[in-house]
Chain A
Amino acid sequence: MDCTIATWNHIIYFWRSRPSLRLPLLLLLSCAAGFAQNASQPISSPLSVRTTHILGFEGAESNAGGTLSIQENSLQFQRNGKAAVRLQIASVQDVCVGEQSKQVGGLPMTLGKAAAPYGGGRVVSLFAHKKYDTLTLEYVDTDGGFHGAIFQLNKGQGEVLRSALVAKGAHVSESHDPPKQQGTVEVSDEPK
């Protein structure tokens, strides 16, 4: 008990004696709280994940964020406050999970990096990227037309969703496993 009180006294003394360090400390504490909150959050249900629809899902806007969920025999994508777009899981012919690394921050971040003097933006770019899973669906519509849809998910969620889709009856071709690591060697199909 005495030890705890002494520690608190030290902290309070440090806080009062170093006003210049208050702001960095506050920032550090808030970041730590954020990380702790993220870590303590349960992994969202495999049947409902936050995604970004990149392209191809008929009826859904490209590059739109929303929730991808499995409901009974259909896969549903819903943007906040908008009507859901559904797809029968039985019509899915293939599901592939890939991986990509993207720069975060969008256009404002890009402009900021371009404006940073002395190449500071490049240094920021070194750290301002994040890895995502990409979920690629191949399905057919009622006319037999082939469709493809690409979703971007947080890392690790692609495989979960793929397993859930397979369990619900989606077809998967085993020969379609994506290359996990992208090499830098140029590959060519040209006849020599």
Chain B
Amino acid sequence: MNPNKRISCHAFVLVIVTVTIALSSQASAQASASSPGSQDAPAAPWNLQVDKVDAGNVVLEPAFQIAIYENLLVELGKTKRFKQVLRDGDHNASDVANLLILKTTVQKYTPGSETRRAVTTVSGATKLSVRSQLCRRDGQVVLERTINGNVRFMGSNLRATHNLARNVAKAIKQASLPQPSGSPTERPTLSEQRSLSSF
């Protein structure tokens, strides 16, 4: 076999093996993170309402705002940290006890380019930075974090919103939240019986 072809074949096999190992390790990490028994997932006393993403003064495409919001709902539902994850404007939220509200404000946005990433590898990253606040109904801030979400190598620009939402969910999962004032079973409502199957 031609030595050049042999080198190309070896490089091709090496790339495939690397990608396979990377994907399998990522999948196993995600599986272990999402399995309820893997972490000491506490009983879910709090309910969560996710507010619409506030773009602040940053010029951000509506698709990015929506993608952040929808990905947050998905990722926060996966954490099992909350009894319910409600959407912004949901009428049922008024009946729910122990409600926390997640407010997300975009602080920084660097638009990237998938083509530039593919061609240069080192430039064209899409970067997002948001301030996430968990508040009570009265506006008291329970948790505040600045969280980043980037896409540097592979994936579309909207992938940054997925990474951001995953980081937000991870930060909230790892944070220690105060105990709610009332018992979680104090005010059972119809809306509390809804499952998170839609997430």
Q: Are B119 and A189 in contact (CB under 8 A)?
A: no
Q: Name the segment of B51-59, B75-83, B166-174 touching the other chain.
A: B51-59
Q: Chain A contacts of B15 at CB under 8 A?
A: 111, 114-115
* Residue ID in chain B nearest A178 by CB atoms: B61
Q: CB-CB contacts of B8-22 with A at 8 A, as 1s and 0s?
A: 100110011001000
Shortest C-beta distance, B165 to chain A (Å), equals 11
Q: Is the CB of B58 within 8 A of A189?
A: yes
Chain B residues with CB below 8 A from A94, complex form? 62
Give the interface size bracket for A toward B. 35 or more
Stretch at the interface among B25-33, B65-73, B132-140, B177-185: B65-73
B29 to chain A, nearest CB (A): 20
If the complex has contacts A58-B198, A125-B119, are A100 and B157 also in contact, measured as CB distance less than 8 A? yes
Bound: A150/B71 CA distance, A: 12
Counting chain B residues whose Cβ lies within 8 A of the other chain, the interface size class is 35 or more
Q: Which B residues are in CB contact (< 8 Å) with A129?
A: 114-115, 118
The stretch of A22-30, A65-73, A74-82, A138-146 in contact with B is: A138-146
A148 interface residue (CB < 8 Å to B): yes
Cβ B61 vs Cβ A98 within 8 A: yes
* Residue interface mask B91-118, A partner, CB < 8 A = 1: 1100000000000011111110111001
Residue of B nearest to A124 (CB): B118
Q: Which of A13-21, A32-40, A42-50, A180-188 has 4 or more CB atoms under 8 Å from chain B?
A: A180-188
Contact of B86 among A138, A145, A150 (CB under 8 A): A145
Other-chain contact of B110, A113, A114, A186 (Cβ < 8 Å):
A186
Which of B61, B110, B115 is within 8 Å of A125, CB to CB? B115
B contacts, CB < 8 Å to A: 4, 7-8, 11-12, 15-16, 19, 52, 56-59, 61-63, 65-67, 69-71, 86-92, 105-111, 113-115, 118-120, 127, 154, 156-158, 198
If A111-B19, A145-B87, A176-B62 are given as contacts, then 8 extra A-B residue pairs at C-beta distance below 8 Å, sorted by A number, are A54-B67, A122-B119, A126-B119, A136-B62, A138-B66, A150-B66, A182-B61, A189-B108
